[in-house]
Amino acid sequence: MFPSDPLQAPLWTVLASLTHARRMLEVGCGHGYTAAVMASAGGPDCHVDTIEGDPHHAELAEQAFLQRGLSRRIRVLRGRGQSVLPKLKGRYDVVFLDCDWREYPSYIPHLRRLTRPRSIIVTANLNPLFGGWGGRLPGKPAIQSYLTRLVRDPHFRTYVVPGEWHSISVRV
């Protein structure tokens, strides 16, 4: 389980300010590091939903949120993104995908449904496509298909950060 680099923490403050975030969504909670950063960035009126497929990770994340006094603002949704996303309702201001990239293409209709104009979507784990530590990992076609569809989708404008592991999309 690899939490995001702490150097990326200010990204969530920027995005929360830019979108006046009240609802944020993460797929791939891990032990809860980024969900906690997102909740802190959004402030006391912001709610974070975070999806986690591994029950042990979900448990550890919930314990961490309890210890940090964030339990009322972060909800851990157990299950894989593919099964949980169809059950979600309403719009999120910021979405972070940080899970098994082979599911990413199936998320696109939900990204449209669960965002509003000017919502921001950050997609992590693009390394299998671009090389780096993930160069030999499986799933390149899935990432390629996801990015191609996202870039061509008239509902989004997408920037793939050069030399990096993530893309940033804005819903239009």
123: nearest Cα among 154, 156, 90, 91 = 156
Nearer to ligand SAM, 93 or 103 (CB): 103
Strand residues in 46-147 grouped as ranges (E): 47-52, 74-78, 92-97, 115-123
How far apart CA 76 and CA 49 sit, in angstroms, is 6
Q: Which of residues 113-132 bind ligand SAM (CB under 6 A)?
A: none
Number of residues that bind ligand SAM (CB under 6 A): 21
Binding to ligand SAM (CB under 6 A) within 81-100 occurs at 81, 98-100
For position 2 contacting ligand SAM by CB under 6 A, the verdict is: yes
Q: Write the CB contacts of 145 (distance below 8 Å, at least 6 apart in sequence).
A: 105
Contact between 105 and ligand SAM by CB under 6 A: the answer reads: no
Q: Is 28 a binder of ligand SAM (CB under 6 A)?
A: yes
For residues 42 and 53, which CB has a smaller minimum distance to ligand SAM in the complex?
53
Integer Rg of the chain from CA: 15
Residues in contact with ligand SAM by CB under 6 A are 1-4, 26-28, 30, 33-34, 51-54, 57, 80-81, 98-100, 103
